[in-house]
Amino acid sequence: MSVTTAATADLAYQQCLNPECRATVGVDKALFACPACGDLIDVVYDWDRLPVPSHLKEFEAKWSRRLDPLCFSGVWRFRDLLPFAPAEKVVTIGEGQTLLQAADKVGQYVGMNAGQLFLEYEGMNPSGSFKDNGMTAAFTHARMVNARRVACASTGNTSAALAVYCSATPFGFKAIIFIGSGKIAYGKLAQALDHGALTIQIVGDFDDAMARVRQVADRLGIYLMNSINPFRLEGQKTIMFRVLEALGWEVPDWIVVPGGNLGNSSAFGKAFIELKHLGLIDRVPRLAVINASGARTLHELVNGQKLAWLDGLPDPEVTRKYYGAMDSSGLKASTIASAIEINRPVNLKKCLRALDFCDGVVREVSDQEIMDAKARVGAGGLGCEPASAASVAGAKKLREEGIIAPSDRVVCILTGHQLKDPTATVAYHSADQDQFEKVLGSRGVRRAGFANRPVVVPNDLDDIIRAIALYSETETQ
């Protein structure tokens, strides 16, 4: 296929990430890989010719204009920093009304000084996860290119978000989602079904579903909504803008984020590259990307095999060999944090760029660490699903290693709502040993050290009163 070159007059265009290719294509095209070399694509802006605020504080003017959907949206109020779409094409459902919670009890668990740990709660989005930040941008682009059928492979949240954007907007979008059979949490499956998405359960896992949806999208000309779509990442940059906004435009020391398909970490890196380039921040936070031990590709490649960005030319042999070994040993991703149960992260290369720019680190955390951290987030914060708690477990690990200092200002991204995966939560807290073994024991979780067990009492007033006296006393001891 020949490459259509973006008109030089374009203020925004798509560009291949590979410095040896750098093919450019207009934003009026829907492409999910470079047409010349197959590498990832970025959305790139000609900042010198675009109106950009001289200080981030200027965005505060939008707060008083909340009746305008583009000012209300926590994504589009930062439109000047993702200026690829005309205002009349924007598809928004009011996403990005999130908050940054100062969470001292969780901070104590992590080992931070008081006032230094913050949780960016993305579960407040309409579909209950951070995905809405990306969906609003990708749906906007889909409208720009007149797409109707939209598809994704998903561990659950992308599909839930995609289904919501189709059902809640009047533009005739039709949702087709691919999920690994038995691989997604109930809350997420419930959303896809309730919102009317065509839900294709394939026998396999996310990596299998991802490979298939790319083939299907290619064959049938369906618009792809996974984070391989560069417009998704434009929307997800705004998670960082809102973190800065909530900190009075001060840059924290650390951003800690779970890593699955590596869209978020890639988007965060791009956000900071652009903010620094535009002179809107004077320093960059460090980035920590946290894998689950059962889906540890990034950890293995970066820490084990020393894979690095190298100015856009990471050694492809390293990844190829690792994936080959994974295939020949039949290794499949396996973690209770089903959202990040991914062994072939599509945005690997962009994540390497983010790690390079943000002096990043990668860690893995076990399912035990994830579930314990999740219980602490529930007890001291707004609650989250297992994958999100990987960020808190990862911060704790980096704190123990002395890489994060207790006086650092740390922001952990809580990517998904607590109610997305009730099965994992109830199994952890429940006194039902069979349930614990089935859901968690099988994953190597041995203890529920922070369990809040339900108390079973006969249906008798005196027994109930005795139980309250007994258990509320125990609690205060």
* Interface with ligand F0G (CB under 6 A): 129, 154-158, 227, 258-264, 339-340, 385, 387-388, 415-416
The span from the CA of 422 to the CA of 440, in Å, is 13
Q: Which CB sits closer to ligand F0G, 178 or 309?
A: 178
Closest distance of CB 233 from ligand F0G, Å: 9
Q: Which CB sits closer to ligand F0G, 22 or 332?
A: 332
Closest distance of CB 207 from ligand F0G, Å: 11
Q: Which CB sits closer to ligand F0G, 96 or 156?
A: 156
Residue 382: partners with Cβ closer than 8 Å, 6 or more residues away: 101, 119, 121, 123, 414, 418
Closest distance of CB 263 from ligand F0G, Å: 3
Q: Give 181's strand partners.
A: none
Closest distance of CB 2 from ligand F0G, Å: 32
Q: Which CB sits closer to ligand F0G, 164 or 262?
A: 262
11-28 burial string, b = 16+ CB within 10 Å, else e? Answer: ebbbbbbbeebebbbebe
Residue 363: which H helix or E strand, with range? strand 361-365
264: burial class by Cβ within 10 Å (0-12, 13-18, 19+)? buried
The two three-digit tokens of residue 287, written as one number: 């980035």
Q: Which CB sits closer to ligand F0G, 23 or 413?
A: 413
The span from the CA of 55 to the CA of 46, in Å, is 18
Closest distance of CB 134 from ligand F0G, Å: 8
Closest distance of CB 235 from ligand F0G, Å: 12
The span from the CA of 226 to the CA of 138, in Å, is 9
200-212 burial string, b = 16+ CB within 10 Å, else e? Answer: beeebbbbbbbeb
The span from the CA of 289 to the CA of 207, in Å, is 20
Q: Which CB sits closer to ligand F0G, 281 or 362?
A: 362
Q: Which CB sits closer to ligand F0G, 120 or 385?
A: 385
Question: In whole angstroms, what separates CA 172 from the centre of its chain?
Answer: 26
Closest distance of CB 189 from ligand F0G, Å: 12
Closest distance of CB 206 from ligand F0G, Å: 7
The two three-digit tokens of residue 76, written as one number: 């589009």
* 3 state DSSP class of 140: helix
Closest distance of CB 286 from ligand F0G, Å: 17
Cβ(244)–Cβ(250) below 8 Å = yes
Q: Which CB sits closer to ligand F0G, 199 or 415?
A: 415
Closest distance of CB 162 from ligand F0G, Å: 9
| Radius of gyration for the chain, computed over Cα atoms and rounded to the nearest angstrom | 22
The span from the CA of 404 to the CA of 111, in Å, is 9
Q: Which CB sits closer to ligand F0G, 73 or 297?
A: 297
Neighbours of 339 (CB within 10 A): 31
Question: In whole angstroms, what separates CA 337 from the centre of its chain?
Answer: 13
Cβ(386)–Cβ(155) below 8 Å = no
Closest distance of CB 60 from ligand F0G, Å: 28
Q: Which CB sits closer to ligand F0G, 17 or 340?
A: 340
The two three-digit tokens of residue 366, written as one number: 């076990």
Q: Give 178's strand partners.
A: 153, 200
Cβ(340)–Cβ(259) below 8 Å = yes
Q: Which CB sits closer to ligand F0G, 144 or 307?
A: 307
